[in-house]
Amino acid sequence: MKNFLRALMFMFLTISFSCEEQGWFVNCSDCVAEEPEKAEIKIKLTDINSPVQLFVYNGLLEDNVIYDSAVISSTEYTFTVSLNTLYTFTVRYVLISGDIYTAVDSATPKVKYTKDECKDPCYFIYDKVVDLRLKYQASGK
């Protein structure tokens, strides 16, 4: 019984922390009445006080199909893409020390319809956040 409760708790925590990608929980303020045709991807970046080059690939990084690129000077950026398509994002950070780091993340924005979770029936887009922030920086040489 003890192992069953642990497994149940683990499953609950896993579901709770993966809600953005699955679209299970709706933020009603993000809902719209008309079905959207495009999605705005929110890109989170590390602030290193110098512009970075963002590359957007259509599909997997290994496919090497560049969709678009941009030079970004802020810690957040939005990028408009089509729904139900896999996009891979990369950014290359060059630190003051000369170290170079490349951050990679991907998203497949999808739309879901709900009629019970908000006041009125609506559509919402999920899997629309890309995190390209540096999680770890190696210490000096």
Question: What is the residue-wise DSSP string for 30-57?
Answer: G-BSSPPSEEEEEEEE---SS-EEEEEE
Which has the minimum average pLDDT: 62-66, 77-81, 113-117, 128-132?
Answer: 113-117
Q: Which CATH number fits domain 21-132: 2.60.40, 3.30.310, 2.30.30, 3.90.1070?
A: 2.60.40
- Residue 129 makes CB contacts below 8 A (sequence gap 6+) with 20, 41, 42, 44, 107
Beta pairing partners, 81 = 39
Beta pairing partners, 106 = 88
Q: E strand or H helix at 17, and its extent?
A: helix 2-17
Q: Where are the domains of the chain?
A: 21-132
pLDDT score recorded for residue 21: 44
The rounded distance, in Å, linking the Cα atoms of 49 and 2 is: 51
Instruction: Tell me the pLDDT tens digit for each residue of 83-104.
Output: 999 999 999 998 888 888 999 9
Give the global pTM.
Answer: 0.76
Q: Which of 20-45 are b and which e, b meaning 16 or more Cβ less than 10 Å from the residue's Cβ? A: eeebeebeeeebeeeeeeebebebeb
Q: How many CA atoms lie within 13 A of 89 on its CB side?
A: 28
Residue 94 near residue 100, CB atoms below 8 Å: yes
Handedness of CA 80, 32, 118, 113 (dihedral sign): negative
pLDDT score recorded for residue 7: 57
Indicate the length of the chain as a whole number. Answer: 141
Instruction: Tell me the pLDDT tens digit for each residue of 42-75.
Output: 999 998 888 999 999 999 999 999 999 999 999 9
